[in-house]
Amino acid sequence: MKLGAIEAGGTKFVCGIGNEQGEIFDRVSFPTTTPEETMEQVIRYFKEQDVEAIGVGSFGPVDLNKNSSTYGYITTTPKPYWNQYPLLGELQKHVNVPLGFDTDVNAAALGEAEWGAAKGLASCVYVTIGTGVGAGALVEGKLLHGLLHPEMGHILIKRHPEDHFEGRCPYHRDCLEGMAAGPAIEQRWGKKGFELEQTDKVWEFEAYYVAQAVTNLVYMLSPEKIILGGGVMKQKQLFPLIRGHVRDMLNGYVQKREVAEGIDDYIVPPGLGDNAGLSGALVLAKQELERA
């Protein structure tokens, strides 16, 4: 199979060509500017490729209900110009192949379950912490949907006792994204995260917030693996801090070996690295082609 993949992010769109084994043969990226400019480049790329299907993992919120009049739309995003944009419909106008569609983080979870850190498992959660915070979940072999789709980036968390930053989420101020996303780090400390690598308190605050989210995910979804990706999580010192906080927060309540003894292999970085989302989009394309 020759499959197309789109990881539609709020900062950039990554497009690629691969196959059903997860091999990626070609990839390009374009800045996410206006829909007209960005989609023109996406469509031009795929018109030059002879693919059998395309999978799209998109930033959101998105409408995943195939019976809805706005299926395939990016809906109430604060991203300028993209509110209520018919992403899938615009692609369908120009590319006559089956199209799979889901959130970017659901796609990443799917890719990690197929070929990455959660390979062979029936459940996992993929959390990305970067420009925003989002999470996708695979539960008993199926991507989690519902009234909308998982919006775990906006869960409510307790404030660190020493943190007086008000939070920057336009909806909730001090939700997880408002306190832990890359822009929150920069606004709180006046520098980007990579410039603060040696400032311990930055990462103590960050780990405290991410660990609360992870602890809640353990309780709510009981995943077999939790994968933490995104630009912020490239600060490797975060993983041991987060694991330690999670163990403390669980406080012995979850008596499973994976948490009690094997937490280093339970809370992990993406096995596919920066290709998790694009690889997941290949799986979406493959599944849609099989359904067609």
pLDDT digits (tens, 9 = 90+) for 225-247: 999 999 999 999 999 999 999 99
Residue 172: which of 230, 133, 119 has the closest Cα?
Answer: 133
pLDDT digits (tens, 9 = 90+) for 52-89: 999 999 998 999 999 999 999 999 888 899 999 999 99
Contacts 24+ apart (CB under 8 A), 215-221: 215/245, 215/246, 215/249, 215/250, 216/155, 217/125, 217/127, 217/135, 217/152, 218/246, 218/250, 218/254, 218/259, 219/254, 221/123, 221/125, 221/137, 221/139, 221/144
Amino acid at 213: A
Total count of residues recorded for the chain: 292
Confidence of residue 146 (pLDDT cuts 50, 70, 90): confident
Domains of the chain are 3-104+274-291 (3.30.420.40), 117-269 (3.30.420.40)
Percent of the chain with pLDDT over 90: 91
